[in-house]
Structure 1
Amino acid sequence: MQLAHLAVPQATVTLGAMMTAVMAIIFRMRASDKPVNAKKLLMPPVGMSTGFLMFVVPVMRIPMLWGLIAFAAGALLFAYPLIRYSRLERRGDDVFLVRSKAFVFILIGLLVIRLLLRGVIEQYVTLPQTGAIFFIVAFGMLLPWRLAMYRQFRQLLAAAS
């Protein structure tokens, strides 16, 4: 099955990415007002993992090495600031995510870096492959971050016992 080439202007893609980032920032700020639990920490990577079904479509496929490099970039470069500035604290019987003033700037910085990299990568691979690469980068960023928060969550619960 061959998909027709999409004629999507770069400005539309950039605007969509920026709107998604703003929504993520707003969502993150609201989430810090509610207690977290294991399900809330672990479900985002589980839900996002369904996106790997995109590789069923041949036009989306990339070489395995590219995928490994994209995952490593997400895990080693982009996850670190999120892990570093995400802190959980116990309040009574509940655990809350503590808002960091740096977090919004980190998300904006990561968005800018991703947009700049996207512009470079799109020169060498197709638009669907670019999307696949950046999906893997995002998953590589999300998984270690959420696992680190889950580990911190478990430590807080164990310390209270």
Structure 2
Amino acid sequence: MAAALTGLESWDPLLVEAIKNTQPGTIVRWKLSLRNPQPKWTSAGGHIVQVGDAAHSLLPTSANGAAMALEDSVSLTECLRLGDKEGVAVATKVHQVLRYQRTALIQHCGFVNRRELHNPSMKEVTERGNAFLFYGKWLWQHNAEKYATANFEAAEY
């Protein structure tokens, strides 16, 4: 494995040692690629809910994985509060309806960013001044709790 890699002298020696001690044929290359959000984030009874990457995996170039997981948590909490104890199943399904489109869009932005960042001409990308092309207020000013509160009743699940 180490023989196939170039520039190992600039790598951390501990990493180089690990590579040299890895048995041949045991390394799997998992390609990062766009995955659509799971079509269903809740169990039939609405008591089990997927959040974060389990529901909508993001490429690293989305630069929002942790933020989306936190938004999911805030949204789910508010939906459960609004649904009350008797409406748990409805609340979890409404949570998915309220989060699905936003997370799908951010997934696709990560795909576009990956394409741009892997552009052969990084000079062109950096000269634009912002490698993360589609991000702005719509992303960083979103308040998942307020959005859930404002849209909970109107959500069609």
**TM-score scaled by length of structure 1:** 0.35
Higher relative contact order (CA 8 A, sep 6+): 1
Structure having the higher helix fraction is 1
Larger radius of gyration: 2
Structure having the higher strand fraction is 1
